[in-house]
Amino acid sequence: MKTFTAPERLDEALTLLGEASPPTVLAGGTDLWPQWTATKTKPTHVLSLHRLEELRGITRAGDILRLGACVTHSELTRSPLVQAACPALAAAAATVGATQIQNRGTLGGNLANGSPAADLPPPLFTANAEVELHSRRGARRVPITRLYRGYRDLERERDELLVAVHIPALPSGALERFWKVGTRRAQAISKVVGACRLALDEKGTISHAALAFGSVGPVTMALDELASWLVGKEPTPEVGEKAAQLASDAVQPMDDIRSTADYRRHVVGRIVKAWIVELATLNR
């Protein structure tokens, strides 16, 4: 017998997830349905999150933005709080699928699906966000940079539910950017998707750098070595060119049905260069 359960209370959902054969967790379904259509399968037991109020809402406390896991892409795009605290995330959400998908798809679904091509993880990586996981055993927080252990393999026990995401707000003066190269201009899965958070000190040298890319490896990749290399340097064209080279070398893309490894390496480099060049203009 197939079942479809949509509890209104989080503890009910966690109880169901704690059972011996836990149900398939469903948020917006915009990633799951294409997979089910492609494989001509459907889940037996579905736990739909759409009635859980605890998973909704966008709030800010001090420098931390809290996003419920079931916040939709449309809500992310339109939210002044998100636009201020993590503009790259708002920009990323606006590129997911199409308007009709953004009305349905959710933040938590985009993260939990675990696709290396997902659009929302890069800006969360560069913002150093944390995800809040709940189970009957309790709650814990995991830095998003540690959420993905391998291809579609998440640091999430099967009885745990992704409930919220916490994002340190963009400091004033810092630059946050998002860039997606997709298969087309709408309804596109990324060929390369990236985000950065960069800041300059008063001397005009780079004081903070975080860069992350998706679709260029088995998981979203944070370019930490590049980020460390950048800190303390001036954002000159030469630094930009060197950074582009380091970025291209750091990613691990493949040839697949959307793109080629060579192209992806190239594009990652050019995006990084463009960001550094833009950062230099902030200095003037």
Measured from the Cβ of residue 1, the count of other Cβ atoms closer than 10 Å reads 4
CB of residue 171 vs other proteins: minimum separation in angstroms?
28
Task: Report the alpha-carbon angle 89-208-253, nearest 5.
Answer: 60
CB of residue 50 vs other proteins: minimum separation in angstroms?
5
38/61 with CB nearer other proteins: 38
Out of 59, 183, 228, 236, point to the residue binding other proteins (CB under 8 A): 183
CB of residue 234 vs other proteins: minimum separation in angstroms?
20
Amino acid at 193: V
Nearest CA-CA partner of 247 in 264, 272, 281? 272
Out of 14, 17, 25, 30, point to the residue binding other proteins (CB under 8 A): 30
40/203 with CB nearer other proteins: 40
Task: Assess contact for 101 and 73: CB atoms under 8 A.
Answer: yes
Cα Rg for the chain, rounded, in angstroms?
A: 19
Residues 6+ apart with CB under 8 A from 24: 32, 43, 44, 45, 46, 47
Out of 8, 11, 63, 100, point to the residue binding other proteins (CB under 8 A): 100
Amino acid at 74: S
Task: Assess contact for 108 and 133: CB atoms under 8 A.
Answer: no
Helix (H, G, I), strand (E, B) or coil at 148: strand
Rounded Cα distance between 234 and 213, Å, is 23
Out of 13, 16, 25, 28, point to the residue binding other proteins (CB under 8 A): 28
Residues numbered 262-281 forming contacts with other proteins, rule: CB under 8 A:
262-263, 266-267, 270-271, 273-274
Number of residues that bind other proteins (CB under 8 A): 46
Single out the segment in contact with other proteins by CB under 8 A; choices: 80-88, 110-118, 129-137, 185-193.
Answer: 185-193
Rounded Cα distance between 70 and 81, Å, is 16
Residues numbered 101-120 forming contacts with other proteins, rule: CB under 8 A:
101, 103-104
Q: How many CA atoms lie within 13 A of 141 on its CB side?
A: 9
85/116 with CB nearer other proteins: 116
* Binding interface with other proteins (CB under 8 A): 2-4, 6, 26, 28-30, 33-34, 37-38, 40, 42-43, 46, 48, 50, 74, 97-101, 103-104, 181, 183-187, 189, 191, 257-260, 262-263, 266-267, 270-271, 273-274
